[in-house]
């Protein structure tokens, strides 16, 4: 493959001039620039990014570590991240932690070794997140997205605050007559898992509903845990069985649907179901599923912008957006037993929330 030396030779200039012409350096004569460009075209020259990176100490690659690429939320997030990164001139390497702490470390090490210019991470707060904390302290440009961990001061966090939406959801269920509302939580090790559970409990309290430990299912953001915990909830003695289930993410909601169907129950007649994280398919489930929607793509874009700020030496800001409730038929009423899916794709929203909120605090 032709190198810059070949291009320079063909254009009859030095490597230095060839390099300047190709990288758009201003002080190159028009004649030289034209000759170099022509030579490069003729040779089909493509700069060796590895050599360039070694010299410039920048790879223009961003690392993104997500807990589970198959989770539609993270898929959409990754897509938005890639798009915004591309717009800013970066490529993205996605690392899938597969919800395993050692995988997170593996991905982190791999990304660090590749000298990505910066890292976007949605971590679980595991004691073994030591490497992540060290990375944060080491000065590697780092931004947390969706989730964050303690012990990493100065790292901007880009996330959606789901508390108001969870509160709206619980009130929605209450208004529709549900009183024994169960929740299937995410891992206590995740910031989002804790936040959703806290908001849920708080909302219950506000409505004067007693806390019922047996109605809390401990899931892990994966479908199987949703199925398992829902099955358990449905096998409770009749008087303590829930009349509604709130799954703290979309995959657990899928599992919950499985369990509900296996038990021969109907939604919402037999039991209400709602999920955190909205996806296009929810409008077409049987019945259309009530869910809390995050501004996922905007989260991804904001995270990339914050990271680029960090990398390029500008002050980076944390960003908090709001999630919102999309009420469909799975808890009763909205849209009726049928329906709930009219109009434009994925746009069947009845929002119970306020406007989007952004809070910008200067990062360090």
Partner DNA sequence: CTGAAAGCGCTTACAG
The footprint of DNA (CB under 7 A) covers: 3-5, 13-17, 19-20, 22-23, 26-29, 31-32, 45, 47-48, 51-52, 54-57
Query: Is 114 a binder of a copy of itself (CB under 8 A)?
Result: yes
- Backbone angles phi and psi of 312, in degrees to 5: -95, 15
Fill in the DSSP letter of residue 115.
T
> Using CA atoms, how far apart are residues 66 and 92, in angstroms rounded to an integer?
12
The upper half-sphere exposure of residue 290, i.e. CA atoms within 13 Å in the direction of its Cβ, equals 33
Per-residue contact track with a copy of itself, 323 to 352, x per CB under 8 A? ----------------x-xxxxx-------
Interacting partner of 207 out of a copy of itself, DNA, none (Cβ under 5 to 8 A depending on kind): none
* 257 is an interface residue for a copy of itself by CB under 8 A: yes
State how far the Cα of 119 lies from the Cα of 130, in Å rounded to an integer. Answer: 16
Helix 30-43 vs helix 4-11: angle between axes, to the nearest 10 degrees?
Answer: 120
CB of 291 to a copy of itself, least distance (A): 13
* By the rule CB under 8 A, 272 interacts with a copy of itself: no
Query: What span, in angstroms and rounded, lies between the C-alpha atoms of 10 and 161?
Result: 58
* Residues of this chain, 38-97, that bind a copy of itself according to CB under 8 A: 44, 46-51, 53-54, 59, 61, 69-70, 72, 75-76, 78-79, 82-83, 86, 91-96
Partner from a copy of itself, DNA, none contacting 295, C-beta within 5 to 8 A by type? none
What is the DSSP secondary structure assignment for residue 270, as one 8-state letter? T
Distance of closest approach, residue 4 Cβ to a copy of itself, in angstroms:
13
Task: State the nearest-atom distance from the C-beta of 29 to DNA, in Å.
Answer: 3
Strands 324-326 and 290-293: antiparallel
223 binds, among DNA, a copy of itself, none (CB under 5 to 8 A by kind): a copy of itself
Cα 131 to Cα 106: distance, rounded to the nearest angstrom: 10
Cα–Cα distance, 14 to 18 (Å, whole number): 6
The minimum distance between CB 71 and a copy of itself, in angstroms, equals 10
């Amino acid at each position: 493959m032709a190198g810059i030396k070949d291009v320079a030779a063909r254009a009859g200039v030095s490597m230095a001039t060839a390099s300047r012409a190709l990288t758009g350096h201003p002080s190159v004569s028009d004649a030289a620039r034209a000759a170099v460009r022509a030579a490069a075209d003729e040779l089909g020259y493509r700069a060796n990014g590895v050599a360039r990176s070694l010299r410039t100490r920048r790879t223009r690659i961003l690392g993104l570590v997500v807990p589970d690429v198959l989770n539609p939320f993270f898929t959409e997030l990754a897509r938005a991240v890639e798009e915004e990164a591309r717009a800013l001139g970066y490529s993205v390497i996605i690392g899938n932690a597969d919800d395993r702490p050692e995988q997170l470390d593996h991905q982190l090490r791999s990304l660090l070794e590749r000298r990505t210019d910066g890292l976007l991470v949605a971590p679980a707060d595991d004691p073994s997140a030591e490497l992540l904390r060290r990375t944060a302290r080491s000065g590697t440009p780092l931004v947390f997205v969706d989730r964050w961990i303690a012990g990493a001061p100065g790292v901007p966090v880009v996330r959606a605050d789901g508390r108001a939406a969870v509160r709206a959801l619980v009130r929605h269920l209450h208004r529709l007559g549900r009183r024994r509302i169960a929740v299937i939580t995410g891992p206590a090790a995740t910031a989002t898992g804790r936040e959703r559970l806290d908001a849920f409990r708080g909302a219950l309290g506000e409505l004067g509903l007693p806390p019922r430990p047996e109605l809390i299912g401990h899931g892990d953001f994966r479908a199987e845990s949703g199925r398992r915990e829902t099955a358990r909830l449905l096998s409770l003695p009749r008087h303590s069985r829930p009349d509604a289930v709130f799954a703290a993410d979309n995959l657990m909601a899928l599992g919950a649907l499985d369990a509900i169907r296996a038990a021969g129950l109907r939604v919402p007649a037999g039991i209400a179901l709602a999920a955190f994280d909205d996806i296009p398919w929810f409008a077409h489930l049987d019945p259309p599923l009530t869910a809390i929607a995050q501004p996922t793509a905007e989260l991804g874009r904001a995270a990339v912008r914050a990271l680029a700020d960090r990398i390029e030496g500008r002050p980076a800001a944390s960003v908090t957006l709001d999630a919102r409730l999309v009420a469909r038929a799975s808890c009763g009423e909205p849209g009726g037993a049928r329906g709930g899916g009219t109009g434009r794709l994925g746009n069947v929203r009845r929002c119970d929330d306020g406007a989007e909120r952004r809070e910008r605090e200067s990062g360090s």
